[in-house]
């Protein structure tokens, strides 16, 4: 198998500890890191040792190289759009870290640049391939939970933050930093509709910057279950990523475990509505109740979205580049997410610190 040459722009947490970690791992058999770009000299020196690659201080030093098959754009969030477009216009295939762009319009410009130059563009939404999420989709597809009333997603915890991700000028905040994971999954479950009714509230509670660290988001699409999303840095009791309520059962899931229970229909007593008062055998009032028997299932899965999910994501990219296979994740899908994010920020505009 011929390996593809990759250039990584940025050696921060995403560039080094997510993308780079995968490329350095035994799981990677399809890519070779040929170049790394970072403005910090110590990061460049570390990259030279870890990858045995060329290093640059400016991504534009890549221009003119014809041996780079793919560039990973792990720059600051507010730089995603200009750097992505510049790379596409200089003939590179690009994977852009999330958030894809700061606004719907910026994302549209990136897609237009990819089409104009005939280059691959994708967004690193690897959570779509997370083992827990794939199992959730299987359970939903099976129909055992019945008609779905509500899907609740919580990507929350309790933490203070004070780095650049707390700055609106850098496109920081929970919605743009953590939010692309649950929002991508939610839009996938809704079928990537172009229009979504959004009810949301943003807040600042534990952050040292001016960006949001709390978000409550409700997504509503006619004919679909409501999706309730929380992305909070002030939740000490956040054990479940997912809770799903259906007419015949429920599901709850963490990164490493999916549990669900559904009514055993073979043991249901036939019922129909009655309007007469309910009574016990002795004639005293009775509450309308019954003991239901459930079938319970538990699936232990590989934890997290930074191992198997990353490999599956890069397998998708490899075969798209080498065999022109269609990609399960597309930038057009992520564009629908950006439209939702624009609505969220418009509904609760937060003051930008001077």
- Please state, in angstroms and rounded to a whole number, the distance separating the CA atoms of residues 21 and 13: 10
Q: Which helix (H) or strand (E) holds 105?
A: helix 104-117
In the predicted model, is pLDDT for residue 191 greater than 90?
Answer: yes
Tokens 């496109």, residue? 171
pLDDT at 304 (0 to 100): 63
Asked if residues 229 and 219 have their Cβ atoms less than 8 Å apart, the reply is: yes
What is the DSSP track for 143-188? TTT-SEEEEEEE---B--B-SGGG-TTTT-SHHHHTTHHHHHHHHH
In the predicted model, is pLDDT for residue 305 greater than 70?
Answer: no
The domain locations on the chain are 4-123, 128-306+337-347
Q: Which CATH number fits domain 4-123: 3.10.620.30, 3.40.50.2300, 3.40.50.720, 3.30.1180.10?
A: 3.40.50.720
pLDDT digits (tens, 9 = 90+) for 69-89: 999 999 999 999 999 999 999
In the predicted model, is pLDDT for residue 354 greater than 90?
Answer: no
Per cent of the chain over pLDDT 90 is 97
In the predicted model, is pLDDT for residue 226 greater than 70?
Answer: yes
What is the DSSP track for 277-318? PPB-TTSSB--S-----EEEEEEE---SSSSHHHHHHHHHHH
pLDDT digits (tens, 9 = 90+) for 13-63: 999 999 999 999 999 999 999 999 999 999 999 999 999 999 999 999 999
pLDDT digits (tens, 9 = 90+) for 92-127: 999 999 999 999 999 999 999 999 999 999 999 999
Query: 273-300 in b/e burial notation, b at 16+ Cβ within 10 A?
Result: eeeeeeeeeeeeeeeeeeeeeeeeeebe
Token digits for 336? 């629908």
- State the first-to-last Cα distance of the chain, in angstroms, to the nearest integer: 53
- Residues found in the chain: 354
Q: Which helix (H) or strand (E) holds 110?
A: helix 104-117
What is the DSSP track for 130-144? -HHHHHHHHHHHHTT
Q: What is the mean pLDDT of the chain?
A: 96
In the predicted model, is pLDDT for residue 152 greater than 90?
Answer: yes
pLDDT digits (tens, 9 = 90+) for 232-264: 999 999 889 999 999 999 999 999 999 999 999
Residue 17 carries which DSSP code?
Answer: I
Tokens 């409550």, residue? 216
Indicate yes or no: pTM above 0.85.
yes
Q: What is 128-306+337-347's CATH superfamily?
A: Dihydrodipicolinate Reductase; domain 2 (3.30.360.10)
Query: What sign does the CA torsion over 251, 159, 79, 25 have?
Result: negative
């Amino acid at each position: 198998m011929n390996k593809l040459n990759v250039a990584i722009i940025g050696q921060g947490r995403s560039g080094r500890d997510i993308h780079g970690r995968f490329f350095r791992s035994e799981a990677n058999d399809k890519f070779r890191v040929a170049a790394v770009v970072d403005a910090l000299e110590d990061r460049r020196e570390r990259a030279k040792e870890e990858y045995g690659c060329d290093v640059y201080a400016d991504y534009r030093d890549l221009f003119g190289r014809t041996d780079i098959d793919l560039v990973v754009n792990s720059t600051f969030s507010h730089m995603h759009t200009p750097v992505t477009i510049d790379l596409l216009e200089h003939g590179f295939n690009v994977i852009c870290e999330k958030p894809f762009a700061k606004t719907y319009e910026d994302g549209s410009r990136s897609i237009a640049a990819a089409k104009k130059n005939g280059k691959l563009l994708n967004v690193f939404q690897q959570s779509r391939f997370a083992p827990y999420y794939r199992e959730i989709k299987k359970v939903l597809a099976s129909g055992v939970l019945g008609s779905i009333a509500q899907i609740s997603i919580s990507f929350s915890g309790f933490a203070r933050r004070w780095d650049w991700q707390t700055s609106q000028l850098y496109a920081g905040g929970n919605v743009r930093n953590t939010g692309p994971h649950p929002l991508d999954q939610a839009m996938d479950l809704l079928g990537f509709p172009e229009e979504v009714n959004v009810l949301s509230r943003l807040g600042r509670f534990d952050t040292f910057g001016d960006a949001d660290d709390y978000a409550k988001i409700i997504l509503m699409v006619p004919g679909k279950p409501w999706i309730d999303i929380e992305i909070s840095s002030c939740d000490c009791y956040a054990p479940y990523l997912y809770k799903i309520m259906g007419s015949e059962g429920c599901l709850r899931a963490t990164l490493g475990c999916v549990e669900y229970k559904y009514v055993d229909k073979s043991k249901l007593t036939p019922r129909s509505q009655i309007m007469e008062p309910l009574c016990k055998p002795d004639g005293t009032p009775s509450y309308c109740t019954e003991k239901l028997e459930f079938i319970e299932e538990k699936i232990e899965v590989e934890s997290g979205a930074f191992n198997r999910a990353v490999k599956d994501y890069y397998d998708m990219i490899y075969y798209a580049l080498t065999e022109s296979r269609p990609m399960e994740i597309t930038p057009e899908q992520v564009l629908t997410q950006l439209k939702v994010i624009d609505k969220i920020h418009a509904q609760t505009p937060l003051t930008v610190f001077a």
